[in-house]
Structure 1
């Protein structure tokens, strides 16, 4: 489905991104440069100011539509990890909480194509997807929008459900 060009800054950014050549042919091994261009194109589509996509340390990100999305290039595995934040804990999570989220994933709760990913160093719970082969720009954008939508659902709905299961299981048995 085609959309009309946006006006203003977003329209200029879309024009800027449109003259970029594709990051790399689809289904080829991902490289740091093709990952950088892929992220750069997605950020441009989302209306962010022109960006390098991934910085020299291999990181990038954006806040859009109530979701924080992070990119990390893993040089050792030649992989691009894309992570949508579900929740950032103030303290390390209580025992059973992360297992509760993983149980939700195993039970089939929509993850937007990602997997539950807890990062202890920043106490962030994410839904993450990893790419080692080049997707088309269109497929990549669709994947990330699904991931972002799922992370909002997990933050709005699944978080409370997991907390109830972990901290108040007796209430669930009574109902």
Structure 2
């Protein structure tokens, strides 16, 4: 079946089987490989994208189920001039990444949080990111990055 949707502001489409996951569609059909597949069981959050403005783990939804939707992937988070977006820049500035595997999902989850809660507390950030696993950073710098992206002082954030 043909699936048509808007991805990162551009109309896109591709042929899929009914069982094709959104994560697979994005990576294999649309060649948007920034969306990572870490577990295929909805445990790690590396595949997080936004569907119609809502945070979704793309390994939990079929591509056919999002036909007609607006999808934003990590590739769509940069500024129009190609520079890093606010959340991406904060992750770089505050060393919120190491190996980078979880980073796209963390950035997408963080952006979703900031869209509904522009000034989250440290505890709210930690709670929101519970569904995203990072095996390298210990999360402290990720939390700092989210707090910085919200415009808050991170000098007193937990180490």
Taking structure 2 as the reference length, what is the TM-score of the superposition?
Answer: 0.29
* Larger strand share, 1 or 2: 1
Query: TM-score normalised to the size of structure 1?
Result: 0.27
If you compute each CA radius of gyration, which structure gives the higher value, 1 or 2?
Answer: 1
